[in-house]
Amino acid sequence: MTFKNKRKIVKVAMDIDDVHPRKGFGIDDINDNLRYARLLNKNFGMKFTLFIPTNCFGEYPISKYKDWFENIINKDYYEVGAHGHYHHRKDKADFAGSQKEVNEIIELMESEFSELGYTPTGVKPCGGLITQGVYGSLSKKFEWISDSVAYKHRKVNSIKRVFCTCSSASPQYKGEEEIYIQSHIASGEHISNSIDETYNRVSEFLVTLSKEVDVLPVFVSQLTMVKK
Binding residues (CB under 5 A) for Zn ion: these are 17-18, 126
Widest pairwise Cα distance in the chain:
68
Compare residues 106 and 126 and give the one whose CB is closer to Zn ion. Answer: 126
CB of 91 to Zn ion, least distance (A): 16
Compare residues 17 and 79 and give the one whose CB is closer to Zn ion. Answer: 17
Q: What is the DSSP string of 31-55?
A: T-TTHHHHHHHHHH---EEEEE-TE
CB of 150 to Zn ion, least distance (A): 15
Comparing C-alpha atoms, which of 164, 117, 113 is closest to residue 141?
Answer: 113
CB of 36 to Zn ion, least distance (A): 18
Compare residues 17 and 116 and give the one whose CB is closer to Zn ion. Answer: 17
CB of 177 to Zn ion, least distance (A): 27
Element spanning 203, H or E: helix 191-212
Contact (Cβ atoms closer than 8 angstroms) between residue 21 and residue 60 = yes
Compare residues 126 and 159 and give the one whose CB is closer to Zn ion. Answer: 126
Instruction: Kindly compute the dihedral angle of the four CA atoms of residues 76, 78, 80, 86, in this order, to the nearest 10 degrees.
Output: -140
Compare residues 128 and 171 and give the one whose CB is closer to Zn ion. Answer: 128
Using CB atoms within 10 Å of the CB of residue 7, give its burial: 0 to 12 exposed, 13 to 18 middle, 19+ buried.
Answer: exposed
CB of 17 to Zn ion, least distance (A): 4
Q: What is the DSSP string of 62-98?
A: GGG-HHHHHHHHTSTTEEEEE--SS---GGG-TTSS-
Comparing C-alpha atoms, which of 174, 223, 171 is closest to residue 201?
Answer: 171
CB of 202 to Zn ion, least distance (A): 19
Compare residues 44 and 85 and give the one whose CB is closer to Zn ion. Answer: 85
What is the distance between the alpha carbons of residues 216 and 220, in angstroms, rounded to a whole number? Answer: 12
Element spanning 26, H or E: none
